Amino acid sequence: MALNSLGREIPDSYAGKRLVPYGDAWSLRPEGTVAARPVKRVNPGQGKRLSSLREAIEASGLADGMTIATHHSLRNGDFLLNRIVAEIAAMGLKGIWIASSSVHPVHAEIIPHIKSGVIAGFQCGVNGLIGELASRGELSCPIVVRTHGGRARSIIEGSVKIDVAFIAAPCCDEYGNMNGYYGPSACGSLGYAQIDAGYASCVVAVTDNLVPFPAVPVGIPQTLVDYVVAVDRLGDPAKIVSTTTRVTTDPVGLQIASYASQVIEASGLLKDGFSFQTGSGGISLAVAEKVRNAMRKGSIKGSFGCGGITGYFVEMLEEGLFSALMDVQCFDQEAVRSIGVNRAHQEISADMYANPFNAGSVVNRLDCVILGATEVDTAFNVNVNTESNGYLLHNTGGHSDTAAGAKLSIIVAPSIRGRLPIVRDRVTTITTPGDTIGVVVTERGIAVNDRHAELKEELIRRKLPVKDIADLQREICRVTGTPRPLEFEDEVVAAIEYRDGSIIDVVRRVKE
């Protein structure tokens, strides 16, 4: 057991690996070369089509203890991971690790297979019931939570080895060329799957939309794909890109958005060449709308919009407010439509998006990112993984990556959720270190990290409600009272890996 630099107790090892305690966001340097995989040869006349998932699993050579991966671009509409795990279970395989880009509530179906030992653990974060059950001690499987960039890093550097990648391919030909743009399960960008395709020992494309060769544009090329399987459905289209992209009408949310957009204007970053990322939540979109209006008003021509892309960003591209979109994942149907027709709507891999260990990722070029939080503490550390009940309920996504990369990272959150204050002495779990957070915006005030002293002065000059984060906390607690701290057992149910592979925190079993 060692304390990391943020004071969190980190065990020496977890899930069979030695852990490196987090030190800071910048210093850890990679060693060695990128991971290798078998060289292959496919001769003329040799086909790749297989008739079923079972046949593909058999052909892939998947064996007990190996690691599989899927991508989460179909989000909560994904059928594939559940079907593969059911097939693996039926084949009698045991101890399989899942290293998908994320696991969603729909995948609660695999819980019986975790209990029976078919699934050994997760080399990725989980959303929903699996994490909750693990937190309550009802599921025993290691979970290593990674950022989007961190996942790409772990695969490329070889610390996570994917034996078989099953890639849901919304548009695919029989030789394995694929894209996510067209078909009944169209999800747009295949940014996460690009890493799996490039580094897994065996790559299986699974499609419900087999098109005549060649499937163009080529998102993932035939040269990386070993087998192609056609299935009836990859997912439920209603849930694939189902994010409700609507600006909030809640006055509290709008107040937060208004402050956040004023922070952006005051930052001096909002000028020609502006680059921006925001999520798909109601407050984030409200910020985006205000930024859009400010860009129109000031005739500002932005550089790029980044991240999970929504219809809002598409409108900004088509209006000429951005010259490009850098898209690792599409959040709604409008984004899916756009990536299929707009040349400046660029699909990027999770490596290019956010990996800290390459020759420079897109997040490094971000001016400003808007991020959420379940909790923030007085050292600006942010939690997005666990909730106030201590349960692991959310994956990290690109949170820590963009916070580290952007010149200005802004957390937007209501000061009170339910009856609970969101600013705490100590967040339950540290997802993103406070050193990489610029500003915390709530409806009750704006807290600025000391490393942005000039911005703080400018906000005060503009008469915005700038408050010391500890004062803000006290003010909120005057309304809510101070919650009793949660109690945890010693048992570690998940490790929270920072983007560089060091361990920023662990999630422990909640004392019930």
Partner 1 sequence: MADFKLRRSLLYVPGNMPSMLQNIPIFNCDSVIIDLEDAVPLAEKDAARHLVKRFLLNYTDRNKELLVRINPLDSKWGYEDLKVVLPAMPDGIRLPKADTPEIVERLDTLLTEFEEELEVEIGRFGILPSLESALGVINAVGIANSSERIFALAFGAEDYTASMEIERSRGGEELFNARTRVLWAAKAKGIQAVDTIFADVSDMEGLRAETELAKRLGYTGKCLVNPRQIEVVHDVFAPKEHEVEYALQVIEAIKRARQLGTGVIALGGKMVDAPVVKRAARVLRTAYAHGMVDTLIDEEEIHGAQ
User: Phi, psi at residue 318, to the nearest 5°?
Assistant: -70, -25
Of residues 5 and 482, the one with the C-beta less far from partner 1 = 482
Of the candidate residues 140, 258, 333, 346, the single one contacting partner 1 (CB under 8 A): 258
Under 8 Å between Cβ of 497 and 146: yes
The closest alpha carbon to 224, from 200, 207, 192, 189, belongs to: 200
Which is nearer to partner 1, 16 or 251 (by Cβ)? 251
- Give backbone dihedrals phi and psi of 42, rounded to 5 degrees, phi first: -120, 120
Answer whether 181's CB lies under 8 Å from 171's CB: yes
- Inter-residue contact 134 to 12 (CB < 8 Å): no
Instruction: Check binding of 463 to partner 1 (CB under 8 A).
Output: yes
DSSP result, 227-278: EEEE-S-SB-HHHHTB--------HHHHHHHHHHHHHHHHTT--STT--EE-
Q: Which of 207/248 has CB closer to partner 1?
A: 248
Q: Minimum distance from CB of 482 to partner 1 (Å)?
A: 16
Least Å from the CB of residue 475 to partner 1: 8
Residue 462 touches partner 1, criterion: CB under 8 A: yes
Among 42, 230, 252, 420, binds partner 1 (CB under 8 A): 252
Kindly state the smallest distance separating residue 264's Cβ from partner 1, in Å: 16
The 144-145 sheet, strands edge to edge: 144-145, 488-497, 503-510
| Shorter beta-carbon distance to partner 1: residue 180 or 281 | 281
Among 242, 255, 333, 346, binds partner 1 (CB under 8 A): 255
The pairs formed by 318-321 with CB atoms below 8 angstroms and a separation of 24 or more are 318/342, 319/292, 321/292, 321/295, 321/296
Contact between 296 and partner 1 by CB under 8 A: the answer reads no
d(C-alpha 431, C-alpha 400), whole Å? 7
| Total residues binding partner 1 (CB under 8 A) | 13
Q: Is residue 82 at the binding interface for partner 1, with CB under 8 A as the rule? A: no
Shortest Å distance, C-beta 387 to partner 1: 21
Q: What are phi and psi of 222, to 5 degrees?
A: -55, -30
Judged by beta carbon, residue 34 or residue 479, the one nearer partner 1 is 479
Sheet of strand 382-383, all strands in order from the earlier edge strand to the far edge: 382-383, 375-377, 423-424
- The correct pick among 27, 43, 249, 299 for binding partner 1 (CB under 8 A) is 249
Q: Which is nearer to partner 1, 41 or 463 (CB)?
A: 463
Q: Is residue 404 part of the contact set for partner 1 (CB under 8 A)?
A: no
By CB under 8 A, tell whether 140 contacts partner 1: no
Instruction: By CB under 8 A, name the one of 16, 32, 251, 418 that touches partner 1.
Output: 251
Which residues, including other chains, have CB under 8 Å from residue 414's CB and lie 6 or more apart?
252, 253, 256, 422, 442, 443
444 binds partner 1 (CB under 8 A): yes
Query: Which region, judged by CB under 8 A, interacts with partner 1, from 33-41, 201-209, 254-262, 360-368?
Result: 254-262
Binding-site ranges for partner 1 (CB under 8 A): 249, 251-252, 254-255, 258, 443-444, 461-463, 475, 479
